[in-house]
Structure formats: C-alpha cells, structure tokens
Chain A
Amino acid sequence: MNGETPATQGFSPVLAGATARRVLTQLRHDPRTIAMLVAVPTVMMILLRYVVSDSLLLNRIAPEYIGVFPFVSMFIVAAITTQRERSSGTLERLMAMPLGKLELLAGYGIAFGLMACVQVTLALVISLTWLGVTVAGSAVPLAVVAVLDAILGMACGLFASAFARTEFQAVQFMPAFVLPQALLCGLVVSRDHMTAVLRWLSDILPLSYAVDAMQRITTAASWTSAASADVAIIVSFTVAALVGGALTLRRRTP
C-alpha cells in the first residue's frame, strides 16, 4: 500500500534536516524562549561589564563567561525539550516510525547549534564593541570555541535528560550538573590554585576545558597547540555525550 519504502538503514540527512526544522519551528512559535535564549548571555555580559569596572580584569574574564553562559542555557533548553519529547509520547511515536536515533539527535544538534551561533555572535559583538572588551588575536576562533561550548552544553543536556523522569528533575539537573562545574572550571578560582582533589575533579569536567580554551585564545595572539588540545577535548566530550544520549534513547522500553 505504501509504495515508498524509506531507507531504514544508514543516516538520512533529509530526516535530520526535517527534525532540525521541526525543532526550530517549535522555537519559532515560542518567541519568548527565543528572546531569552538569544538575549540572556548578552545581558549577563553587560551586567558583568558594570560589576567588574576594572577593564584589565574584564578583558581577562569576559571571554570565559562568553564560554559559560551559552553552555548553561543550551543545557537547560536541550534537557527540557528532550524530556518533553519523552513525556508527551512523541518520542515513542517517532521510535515506532522509520526515524533513526542518530537522525533525531543530529536534528537537535543542528537546530540548537544554529541557535548557539546567534546567541554567541550577539554576545561577542556587544562585548567587543559597546563593552570595550579587547582580545589579543582575532575574534573568529573565540566565536567558534564559544559555539562549540554551547553545543557541548546541548549534548550534556540531551544526555542528562535521559535520567530525568519529570520536567522538575530535568530543571534540577541544571544546578546539580552545571553549578559544580562552574565552581570548578576556573571561573571563580584559578585551577592552578586548587587543592589536588579539586584540581583532579576539575580535570574530568568538560566545562573546565571550555573555559581553558577561551582563556588561551584570548591571551595568545595566535592559535596554540594547547588551544587545539582543549578544542579536541571539548569535541570528544560532545561526541561522548551524544553517543551516550543515543545509547540511552531506547527504541524498545520495558
């Protein structure tokens, strides 16, 4: 009856694209969420500028915060969206349909990645112009790493949502998962000044590398191999979280 038999093996870019479009359309129908997603990191940067009046200090820490704010907001949005997909039954419906798990996750990745680009671009442009933040090198690598940080946050949110039974739990994952990382990533106290145990903890948390990379890019005039290593770690964490997300996304459930 159904003449077309869609490919069920392999990865279909069309289905990933359709999923990304669907997620973006959902966001479009919710302008307040878009406004907050785009504006909150920028507003936080403006706030930071006036809290830290010393321009030398601001130049040092502003890029780190540009790495952290999008991470946090993407974490929440991704965790809640996935949790809603589970609780509304649409995930079960999709799992009964010819949609691959990787296509679904890639769709999310594309949609939130695009949102992250907008978010980071605005925060960077405002910071580098109006707020007077200066960086040693070009702003482009800064933007790229900040977007990678946001995508890392999204991947962590997708993975964490697998362990949330309710939306309440998904929201609680934000402080539970993100705040300890924010304390340990070098934002508050330099990682070099931490005790051995804290330093060790800091070393295994992804956000530490997100902040590290932003720091290195700002202070060095050119790209360093240490920055490359940080970026490689960020990407590895992202891939691991996405694979973890795919593994926890079960077609068959008890």
Chain B
Amino acid sequence: MRVPGVTRQRGEGSLAGPCRSARSNLAARKPLPPRPPAWLNGRMGSAEPGDRAGTVVSGRGLVVRRGGHRVLDDLAFDLAAGKVTGLLGPSGCGKTTLMRVLVGVQTVTAGQVTVLGLPAGHPRLRARVGYATQAPAVYQDLTLDENLRYFGTVLGLRGRRLAEAIAATVARLDLGGLDRRLVGTFSGGQLARVGLAVALLGSPDLLVLDEPTVGLDPVLRRDLWALFHGLAADGTSLLVSSHVMDEAARCDNLLFMREGRFLAEAPPAEILRRTGAPDLESAFLALAVPAGQAVRQ
C-alpha cells in the first residue's frame, strides 16, 4: 500500500540560523520516474563516498548476539566525515545497539569497527566521541551548571576552558538562564537539550545521538536539525537515529535498518531514485517488505 506523497514541509525556513545542507536534500523529494525495483537485490550499494574528508567510522562483519538472537547481523557500513547520517528503522531493530558499539559500551560478538582511525571503544576515543542516549542520562538532582561542570571535568576540561565550553554549549542549545535550576524540574524539551549539551560539551569529532528529537515539538525539532547541520558544517560528523521517517529527509546520508540488517545505505535522493517511491516512508516500506508480501488490506 503506497501512500501518495503527503505534503509535509520538511526543514523549511530555519530560525536557528544556517541550515545549508539541510535544504539541499529537500529538492530530492520530487517524484521520480519508476525504475526496476532495486530493492529486489536486497541491500543497496554503499553510499558514494562523495566527500573528500573520507570516512570517519567503518564497520565490517559486525555481529552482536544477545540471548541467542542476532541483534546486529553481519553489518558493513561507512560513515562520511562532516555529514549528518541518519540511522532509521523501527523500534527494536538494533539502532541503539549499533550506537553503543560505536561509543564502546556494547559487548561485540564479532567483526571490526573503526572510529576515527582507532578500534571502537579505544580509551583515546572517549573524549572525542560525544554520545547522547535516548533518556537524557543526566543527574536530575543537580542543577544544569553542576551537571555540565562535572561532565566537563570528566571530559578533561579545566578552569577557563571549562567555563567557556559550558557557556558556548548553553548558548548553542538555548538553555540560558536555567543554569541554577535543578534539572529534575525541567520540561521534556529542556531535558532533551541538557542530554545533548553534555554530548556537545567536549567539542567531539563524532557525535552519536540516539533519537535526540523524538517526542519534541516541531519548532524545537527544526532548530535541533539546524544545529546538527551547523555542527556538520563546522566539521563534526554525526550519526542521528530516529524511528520517525519524516526525519529521514533531513539527513545527508541514510542507513535504513530493520531486524539487525541494513536495507539501504545511501543519500535520501538516491534511495528515492532507486525505489521509485514518492517519499522516504514508502521507500522504507518498499525495501522492508518484499513485493509478494506487500499487499495486505
């Protein structure tokens, strides 16, 4: 069942300043001529490197087994430097597990993952990779400033550098004026931004953000995506997960994931072109459900 292109307005006019690369994807949403279904071959080809800076993360043969079940099933992938890569797929498909592998807190069954030229989880990476979990993962019984001060110290920032990093992060996430309030009293949107603030604090080279925008209001979501693209423009590489398909179009590259495998690894325009789908949600469905089983209802 194909839903004709719903006219959602993605990423239009950003309040939060530069959002250059976000817009470049939007043009790709126009309907494309149908092609032979590339998805019959299973996984699509790798994304064109297309970026001089090369790859910042690469994985080969990655397997994570949990309770006899392959949560990640022989994954191979490359993340382009200085880009926003979206990791999209339904809840429970292994997105969080993959992100945990990249930041080095997941037990890996097999395979190799290289992050910024070092094996994933290498001690030297811990200050260079920023990680925000789905839950905010901050101390609710501390104020914003006390949280940032502690995590900043752990990241190796001291004295004036710490104060500057905190001020810059607070401004970037629009948390000004909240620094003396207990984080436990924050609204959902504020809490989500505190979680992100901790991830941004150490100016990491790679940001791994697990569903950072899920459940937030549209204005805040748009601002956050603008922030992500601003960071990418400054040279940070981002991996952002979501189970909400209308976020897919905001990414430079996409990893479509289902049941521990990748369905596609390509820029949004490429995925639309190959599937001939009117939008990315339909493209995901086309990739996820083989043609014979597609018709229900």
The stretch of A2-10, A132-140, A167-175, A236-244 in contact with B is A2-10
**Nearest CB in chain A to that of B137: its residue:** A89
In the complex, B126 has a CB within 8 A of chain A: yes
In the complex, B94 has a CB within 8 A of chain A: no
The stretch of A93-101, A195-203, A225-233 in contact with B is A93-101
In the complex, B89 has a CB within 8 A of chain A: no
Q: Is the interface of B mostly helix, strand, loop or mixed?
A: loop
User: Cβ of A2: which chain B residues have Cβ within 8 Å of it?
Assistant: 127-128, 155-156, 202-205
In the complex, B46 has a CB within 8 A of chain A: no
Are B154 and A18 interface neighbours, CB within 8 A?
A: yes
User: Cβ of B100: which chain A residues have Cβ within 8 Å of it?
Assistant: 92
* A4-B154 in contact given A96-B104, A97-B126, A252-B104 (Cβ < 8 Å): no
In the complex, A165 has a CB within 8 A of chain B: no
Are B156 and A88 interface neighbours, CB within 8 A?
A: no
**Nearest CB in chain B to that of A7: its residue:** B156
Are A1 and B235 interface neighbours, CB within 8 A?
A: yes
* A6-B66 in contact given A93-B133, A95-B105 (Cβ < 8 Å): no
Are A26 and B66 interface neighbours, CB within 8 A?
A: no
In the complex, B40 has a CB within 8 A of chain A: no
In the complex, A97 Cα to B196 Cα: how many Å?
14
In the complex, B214 has a CB within 8 A of chain A: no
- Count of B residues near A, CB < 8 Å? 44
Are A8 and B124 interface neighbours, CB within 8 A?
A: yes
Are B127 and A97 interface neighbours, CB within 8 A?
A: yes
In the complex, A94 Cα to B133 Cα: how many Å?
12
Are B203 and A251 interface neighbours, CB within 8 A?
A: no
Q: Which of B105, B136, B146, B158 sits near A253, CB closer than 8 Å?
A: B105
Shortest distance between the CB of A144 and any CB in chain B (Å): 31
* A90-B123 in contact given A25-B142, A96-B129 (Cβ < 8 Å): no
Are A97 and B155 interface neighbours, CB within 8 A?
A: yes
Q: Which of A4, A19, A95, A254 sits near B157, CB closer than 8 Å?
A: A4
User: Cβ of A18: which chain B residues have Cβ within 8 Å of it?
Assistant: 150, 153-154
Are A8 and B123 interface neighbours, CB within 8 A?
A: yes
Q: Which of B137, B153, B236 sits near A14, CB closer than 8 Å?
A: B153
Shortest distance between the CB of B203 and any CB in chain A (Å): 5
Assuming A30-B141, A89-B133, what are 15 further A-B pairs, CB within 8 angstroms?
A4-B161, A5-B124, A6-B156, A15-B153, A25-B146, A26-B142, A90-B139, A94-B154, A96-B103, A96-B104, A96-B105, A96-B126, A98-B126, A251-B121, A253-B107
Task: List residues of chain B with CB under 8 Å of any chain A CB.
Answer: 66, 100, 103-108, 121, 123-124, 126-129, 131, 133, 135-143, 146, 150-151, 153-158, 161, 182, 198, 202-205, 235-236
Task: List residues of chain A with CB under 8 Å of any chain B CB.
Answer: 1-2, 4-6, 8-9, 14-15, 18-19, 21-22, 25-26, 29-30, 88-90, 92-99, 251-254
